[in-house]
Structure 1
């Protein structure tokens, strides 16, 4: 019996020993000094905070780009961008030497939201992309459903990073396509059938006096037309030229704008009100 117990303990230790290096490999590159959700404004319940943290941990580890959320009741006299950047840097967020990652800051002082981006996240989240994510969250933020807003933020970040790695980042000339809700399919079919019945019915009502005619004699007044000669004469030709505009992709105004933070780091970002 003792041998069996010792064997079981030995196997358990070996399994744990194998699991630790694998876990360390997944999280290598992250400081992991603070949780990825810091809710100082207490906008989430304990369960909501735990679920969001687990989701952001999974996305960040898999994508190797830190995705974090922070809330606050006051900006302490700073601008929302300065506060978000100082928060990100002081908590040592980010993956690798370039600190790849983003933070969503929610300030309840003046109902501001701001996304600060670093490293690869500057590429993945263009200015237009950040505003798109903000539009997707604003409704829930305004309604006070912060759990839903943060969940949307996490999903959008995952999609944006994947898109940037597998193709071109979402931008003004490569906007995300919102999927059409399935409810519109039966509505469109019913509306089309009703509209077609109305049109056909209207046309049919106007044709009650029309009867089939084998020839067009009834439409020609007898003796009114006497064709003696016919010729085709070319009179003139008109040509109109329109200059074709060149497609200059460099002047599209897309991409990510960057600036130097108070600590000397390079960051991008954008935000708005809710």
Structure 2
């Protein structure tokens, strides 16, 4: 064998071994980021902290938690933009591409939440509404880092609940969703107490009222009816269309034709 050829092969093998060793030593380099700050909203320390939180929230659940910032989505609907981004960037965990993504477009101040795969099951419509109710006010106030951290924390607690209970967090099993005994006493008891006080005051002022037992007692003095007749004239009937109402509190998650769940989004 030509010694030059032998040396070349040895060098190639050595370089290949170095590349493989570098990849094995730095597996995180192959992972796509979960917090994708394409707008450049966060400084390096904040971005690193949010990424670490998102990784912890996703770990062990086979469902990736994404937070995305972009500048402008043009004339595209925010939900359609987020769905296209999810697909084009091959996001999601496992074969089912399971995940949840919250996107904000700073240029147009739009937001949306989308879910896919196992994320659709884990994040019910009820829970997504709760999530957005917590996050959007922070966005409106310009507290973007707090909004991102709050979103990630809520995702973590939602995935933990699903793992611990074997069912997603929904309106009928939310431990913080019910009024409880104290809440019922406040909501029902206080109005009843106020009504009783008002009725007692009104009753105490009706000292001159006397109960009448005869119909004639309610006819003015001197009024005499010479003829009393009842004559049927007609019957009025009004028909009002009552459309069927959608089921309320049906729970679960709704999906579109592409299999994505989530919200329709809005503005902040």
1:55-113 Cα shifts (integer Å, max 9, x gaps): 21222233221111111121132111111111111111111111011111011233222
Runs of 4+, deviation exceeding 4 Å? none
In the alignment, which residue of structure 2 is the partner of 1:267?
260
8 Å Cα contact 2:61/2:163 also seen in 1? no
1:224-259 Cα shifts (integer Å, max 9, x gaps): xxxxxxxxxxxxxxxxxxxxxxxxxx8632111101
- How many Å separate the matches in 2 of 1:121 and 1:273? 23
Q: How do 1:218-233 residues align onto structure 2 when only pairs under 5 Å count?
A: none
Distance 1:252 1:96, change over 3 A: same
Residue 62 of structure 1 aligns to a residue whose secondary structure is coil
Residue 69 of structure 2 aligns to a residue whose secondary structure is strand
- Structure 2: where are the runs of 5+ without partners? 1-20, 178-246
Structure-1-length-normalised TM-score:
0.58
In the alignment, which residue of structure 1 is the partner of 2:217?
none
Distance 1:138 1:176, change over 3 A: farther
In the alignment, which residue of structure 2 is the partner of 1:189?
none
Q: Which moved more, 1:154-163 or 1:251-260?
A: 251-260
Distance 1:174 1:99, change over 3 A: same
Q: How do 1:1-274 residues align onto structure 2 when only pairs under 5 Å count?
A: 34-167=32-165, 168-175=167-174, 177=176, 252-261=249-258, 266-270=259-263, 271-274=265-268
How many residues in Structure 1 have an aligned counterpart in Structure 2?
Answer: 175
In the alignment, which residue of structure 1 is the partner of 2:5?
none
Provide the alpha-carbon RMSD of the alignment.
2.5
- Structure 1: where are the runs of 5+ without partners? 1-16, 179-249
- How many Å separate the matches in 1 of 2:175 and 2:69? 27
- How many Å separate the matches in 2 of 1:176 and 1:92? 35
In the alignment, which residue of structure 1 is the partner of 2:215?
none
- How many Å separate the matches in 2 of 1:100 and 1:173? 24
8 Å Cα contact 1:32/1:93 also seen in 2? no
1:34 to partner: Cα distance: 2.8
Residue 102 of structure 1 aligns to a residue whose secondary structure is strand
